[in-house]
């Protein structure tokens, strides 16, 4: 889905910011929470004049989600911003908690010995720009990237127990 920075006249524009829960890579497109919200609003209250833009990215914590809003979300003239928080969002703000540091660095919160909290930016790895571009613009790339991380770099069974999955670990059909 692509959006214009310029909001059409009479449209109420909502931006959703979250992590993988709202990104919804593992559900059918029509089952995304953002699309369902847009459909329900347009079938009722908005009468076809609402847009719901989903800015969510898996693995992001509150720090990156707020940075994404400041860098990108503000450009879209949003009337309402919804931030959907998951139980791991605070933890994802700290570099030691994220699988993303295996392939590229990401901004993280750091607590000094005196208790002050600051944002640290890692050295820029060789493929950093490419990784950020692809993670921001391709759901297929995000899916492949996360699959490689889970299965090969971090250890699926050790970090992500499969007991809650039945059969194939995604709720999409496979052959």
Question: Averaged over 133-137, what is the pLDDT?
Answer: 80
Q: Would the pLDDT of 96 be above 90?
A: no
Q: If pLDDT is split at 50, 70 and 90, which confidence band does 101 have?
A: low
Please indicate whether residue 165 or residue 119 has the higher confidence score (pLDDT). Answer: 119
Average pLDDT, the chain: 77
Contacts of 159 (CB under 8 A, 6+ apart): 150
pLDDT of residue 167: 35
Q: Would the pLDDT of 7 be above 90?
A: yes
Is 129 buried (19+), middle (13-18) or exposed (0-12) by CB count in 10 A?
Answer: exposed
pTM above 0.75, yes or no: no
- Quote the CA–CA distance of 167 and 18 in Å, as a whole number: 27
Please indicate whether residue 125 or residue 92 has the higher confidence score (pLDDT). Answer: 92
pLDDT of residue 160: 34
Is 112:119 a contact under the CB 8 Å cutoff? no
- Quote the CA–CA distance of 131 and 58 in Å, as a whole number: 14
Q: Would the pLDDT of 175 be above 50?
A: no
pLDDT of residue 13: 97
């Amino acid at each position: 889905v692509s959006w214009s920075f310029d909001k059409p006249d009479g449209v109420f524009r909502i931006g959703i910011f979250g992590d993988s829960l709202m990104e919804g890579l593992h559900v059918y497109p029509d089952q995304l929470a953002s699309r369902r919200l847009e459909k329900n609003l347009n079938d009722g209250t908005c009468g076809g004049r609402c847009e719901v833009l989903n800015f969510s990215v898996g693995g992001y914590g509150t720090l990156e989600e707020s940075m994404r809003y400041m860098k990108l979300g503000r450009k879209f003239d949003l009337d309402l911003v919804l931030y959907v928080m998951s139980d791991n969002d605070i933890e994802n703000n700290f570099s030691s908690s994220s699988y993303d540091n295996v392939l590229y660095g990401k901004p993280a919160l750091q607590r000094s010995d005196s208790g002050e909290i600051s944002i640290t930016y890692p050295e820029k790895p060789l493929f950093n720009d490419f990784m950020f571009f692809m993670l921001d613009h391709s759901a297929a790339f995000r899916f492949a990237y996360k699959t490689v991380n889970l299965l090969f770099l971090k250890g699926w069974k050790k970090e992500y127990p499969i007991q809650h999955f039945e059969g194939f670990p995604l709720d999409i059909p496979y052959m």
